[in-house]
């Protein structure tokens, strides 16, 4: 994969983060924290529904893409079941009680909100599968456009709501998010019109569908536990501390979009690339060095983010002052996940999906226990510390088993760096104040200096390599 494609993939997360950072202050000033909490629950429940309705077939599409010649038949064989199942669920809920989703998610008995949720759910599932075609065809720019479109549309629609004087309430905000998702589906259908025409003429294969379920269903159960790992904090906070505290925590998580840029770009590229290497039996000896380099890069990112964390207070209302200290622990979720994508990919390569499920369950149980221990006393700070620790455990377990079952890794260096990152982030979240921030900033600056001195030769070599590639591209 060349630098042009990598930059193309980076455009989506970069643009999404930029639009997100523009829309967050706008939403925080005009909508109450409770509504921000409700939007997070909307996205969280939709994520759970997609895991269940998708049957893990999205993962099987990625895994089998390079092994199957007829890509259109593969897509049709994995997409049709989730689509039919989703339509059936939507129709069933509408017939029984359209307001039920709104009562469960928003604590508001509203048929309109319930219908908006169902539309959001269906559009999100369709977006998930359609975007996979662009991703696997390595159409980097088109894929990135499909990823940043919802964020851009949300920003535009929220601005329209505020500028037109419409009520800044839950219905307006949910409508903006739903309309953005539907318009994204329209965009994807236009982008993929030729591919979808080929899919419509392709034959549905019971063999591909069966093989997809055999690989995907265990992963779906594992991903269900992973969903619990990433989402239980929202529900515990809502039940123990209320929607207001959830809104503050959600704002910190949303600012973690800076780390999500890194996660999104790498996760998009990494898994298909490794599966391609496995099929071609090349570059597998590079996994260990890549993992160690990623560990160092993530350590440097944490230092930089910590130094600039007070910037969050410049653009948010006074009630969000806690975000500065919660932010760093919240960023550990996507950063540890990204590192796990590298270090734990071996479990996917050897198809040990049951072990992935077991690791997800262990981390989920640990997170739940820590949340009920810390949230009653520390609120949003406790949720951030609990989830950061659980993700560290998730990373350690997956790395260890992957290293034993597939490629050996330099685990001592990796574990030492990641543990130090966890300790400094937890300390800042728990003990950090505006008065002692300078001491934390000094520690991060020293850490950056140490990393630079230790790896400066590798950094300079990488810089020269990038310059050479750019010069060749210019010619």
Which element (helix H / strand E) includes 107? none
Q: Does 232 fall in a domain?
A: no
Over its C-alpha atoms, the chain yields an Rg (Å, rounded) of: 22
Cβ(29)–Cβ(260) below 8 Å: no
* Residue 471 pLDDT greater than 80, yes or no: no
Q: Does 66 fall in a domain?
A: yes
Q: What is the C-alpha separation between 144 and 135, in angstroms, rounded?
A: 9
* Residue 315 pLDDT greater than 50, yes or no: yes
Residue finishing a domain among 204, 222, 244: 204
Q: What is the C-alpha separation between 228 and 365, in angstroms, rounded?
A: 9
Tell me the Ramachandran region of residue 45: left when phi exceeds 0, alpha when psi lies from -120 to 50, beta otherwise.
Answer: alpha
241-245, 251-255, 290-294, 370-374, range with greatest mean pLDDT: 370-374
pLDDT tens profile 224-260: 777 888 888 888 888 888 877 888 887 887 776 666 6
pLDDT tens profile 52-92: 888 888 888 887 777 778 888 888 888 999 999 999 999 99
CA atoms within 13 A on the CB side of 245: 20
Residues 307 and 437 in one domain: yes
Residue finishing a domain among 171, 204, 237: 204
Q: What is the reported pLDDT for 397?
A: 92
Q: Which two tokens stand for residue 94?
A: 């509408």
Residues 23 and 156 in one domain: yes
Of the two residues 305 and 17, the one the predictor is more confident about is 305
Q: What is the C-alpha separation between 204 and 406, in angstroms, rounded?
A: 34
Q: What is the C-alpha separation between 251 and 324, in angstroms, rounded?
A: 10
Rounded mean pLDDT, 341-367:
81
- Residue 11 DSSP class: H
Residues 263 and 411 in one domain: yes
Q: Does 234 fall in a domain?
A: no
Q: What is the reported pLDDT for 409?
A: 78
Residues 26 and 175 in one domain: yes
Rounded mean pLDDT, 24-47:
81
Q: What is the reported pLDDT for 248?
A: 82
Cβ(9)–Cβ(265) below 8 Å: yes
DSSP 251-273: HHHHHTHHHHHHHHHHHHHHHHH
Q: What is the reported pLDDT for 439?
A: 93
Residues 184 and 297 in one domain: no
Residues 24 and 133 in one domain: yes
The model's confidence at residue 427, banded by pLDDT at 50, 70 and 90, is: very high
Q: What is the reported pLDDT for 65?
A: 79
* Residue 460 pLDDT greater than 50, yes or no: yes
Q: Does 219 fall in a domain?
A: no
Number of folded domains in the chain?
A: 2
Mean pLDDT of the chain: 82
CA angle, residues 200, 206, 209, in degrees to nearest 5: 85
pLDDT tens profile 92-109: 999 999 999 998 888 888
CA quadruple 392, 397, 398, 399: dihedral positive or negative?
A: positive
Domain span at residue 138? 1-204
CA atoms within 13 A on the CB side of 239: 8
Cβ(262)–Cβ(334) below 8 Å: yes
Q: What is the reported pLDDT for 10?
A: 61
Q: What is the reported pLDDT for 181?
A: 94
* Distance, CA of 44 to chain centre: 11
pLDDT tens profile 206-223: 888 888 888 888 777 767
Q: What is the C-alpha separation between 305 and 328, in angstroms, rounded?
A: 7
Q: What is the reported pLDDT for 290?
A: 77
Residues 115 and 32 in one domain: yes
* Residue 172 pLDDT greater than 60, yes or no: yes
Question: By three-state DSSP, how is residue 168 classified?
Answer: coil
- What separation in angstroms does the CA of 292 have from each of 152, 176, 348, 458? 35, 42, 20, 12
* Residue 317 pLDDT greater than 80, yes or no: no
Residue with the two structure tokens 């479109």: 149
Residues 153 and 274 in one domain: no
Question: By three-state DSSP, how is residue 453 classified?
Answer: helix
Nearest to 322 by CA among 407, 381, 376: 381
Q: What is the C-alpha separation between 357 and 365, in angstroms, rounded?
A: 12
Of the two residues 49 and 118, the one the predictor is more confident about is 118
* Residue 114 pLDDT greater than 60, yes or no: yes
Residue 471 CB coordination number (10 Å): 9
Q: What is the C-alpha separation between 374 and 47, in angstroms, rounded?
A: 25
* Residue 473 pLDDT greater than 50, yes or no: no
Q: What is the reported pLDDT for 345?
A: 74
Percent of the chain with pLDDT over 70: 85
Q: Does 211 fall in a domain?
A: no
* Residue 137 pLDDT greater than 70, yes or no: yes
- Residue 68 DSSP class: -
* Residue 382 pLDDT greater than 90, yes or no: yes
Nearest to 444 by CA among 347, 276, 250, 309: 309
The model's confidence at residue 371, banded by pLDDT at 50, 70 and 90, is: very high
Q: What is the reported pLDDT for 474?
A: 45
Nearest to 83 by CA among 200, 257, 232: 200
Q: Does 474 fall in a domain?
A: yes
Residues 348 and 445 in one domain: yes
Residue finishing a domain among 142, 170, 204: 204
Residues 263 and 173 in one domain: no
- What separation in angstroms does the CA of 189 have from each of 113, 143, 177, 183, 194? 26, 12, 19, 10, 9
CA angle, residues 64, 231, 53, in degrees to nearest 5: 45
pLDDT tens profile 250-288: 788 777 666 666 666 666 666 667 767 766 766 666 777
Of 11-20, 77-86, 228-237, 424-433, minimum mean pLDDT range: 11-20
Q: Does 458 fall in a domain?
A: yes
Residues 331 and 183 in one domain: no
Q: Does 235 fall in a domain?
A: no
* Residue 126 pLDDT greater than 90, yes or no: yes
* Distance, CA of 51 to chain centre: 14
Residues 199 and 264 in one domain: no
Q: What is the reported pLDDT for 470?
A: 45
């Amino acid at each position: 994969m060349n630098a042009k494609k990598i930059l193309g993939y980076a455009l989506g997360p970069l643009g999404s983060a930029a639009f997100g950072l523009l829309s967050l202050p706008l939403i925080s000033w005009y909508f109450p924290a409770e509504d921000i909490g409700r939007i997070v629950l909307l996205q969280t429940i939709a994520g759970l529904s997609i895991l269940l309705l998708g049957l893990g077939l999205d993962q099987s599409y990625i895994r089998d893409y390079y092994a199957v010649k007829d890509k259109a038949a593969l897509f049709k064989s994995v997409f049709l079941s989730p689509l039919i199942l989703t339509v059936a669920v939507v129709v069933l809920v509408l017939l029984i009680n359209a307001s039920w989703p709104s009562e469960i998610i928003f604590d508001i008995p509203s048929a309109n909100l319930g219908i908006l949720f169902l539309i959001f759910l269906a559009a999100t599932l369709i977006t998930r599968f359609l975007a996979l075609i662009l991703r696997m065809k390595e159409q980097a720019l088109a894929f990135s456009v499909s990823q940043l479109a919802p964020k851009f549309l949300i920003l535009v629609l929220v601005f329209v709501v505020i500028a037109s004087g419409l009520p800044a309430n839950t219905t307006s905000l949910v409508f903006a998010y739903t309309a953005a998702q539907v318009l994204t589906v329209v965009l994807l259908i236009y982008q993929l019109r030729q591919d979808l025409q080929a899919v419509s003429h392709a034959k549905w294969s019971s063999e591909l569908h069966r093989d997809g379920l055999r690989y995907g269903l265990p992963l779906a159960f594992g991903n269900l536990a992973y969903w619990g790992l990433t989402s239980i904090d929202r529900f515990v906070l809502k039940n123990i501390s209320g929607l207001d505290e959830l809104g503050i925590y959600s704002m910190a998580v949303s600012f973690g979009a800076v780390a999500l840029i890194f996660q999104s770009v790498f996760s998009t590229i990494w898994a298909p690339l490794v599966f391609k290497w496995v099929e071609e039996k090349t570059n597998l000896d590079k996994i260990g060095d890549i993992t160690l380099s990623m560990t160092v890069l993530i350590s440097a990112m944490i230092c930089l983010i910590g130094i600039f964390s007070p910037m969050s207070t410049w653009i948010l209302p006074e009630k969000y002052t806690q975000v500065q200290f919660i932010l760093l622990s919240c960023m550990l979720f996507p950063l540890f996940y990204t590192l796990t994508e590298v270090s734990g990919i071996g479990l996917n390569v050897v198809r040990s999906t049951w072990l992935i499920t077991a690791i997800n369950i262990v981390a989920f149980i640990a997170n739940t226990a820590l949340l009920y221990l810390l949230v009653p006393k520390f609120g949003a700070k406790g949720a951030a510390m609990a989830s950061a620790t659980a993700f560290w455990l998730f990373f350690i377990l997956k790395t260890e088993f992957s290293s034993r079952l597939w490629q050996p890794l330099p685990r001592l260096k990796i574990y030492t760096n990641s543990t130090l990152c966890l300790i400094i982030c937890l300390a800042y979240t728990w003990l950090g104040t505006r008065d002692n921030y300078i001491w934390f900033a000094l520690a991060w600056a020293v850490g950056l200096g140490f990393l630079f001195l230790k790896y400066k030769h590798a950094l300079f070599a990488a810089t020269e390599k990038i310059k050479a590639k750019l010069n060749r591209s210019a010619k």
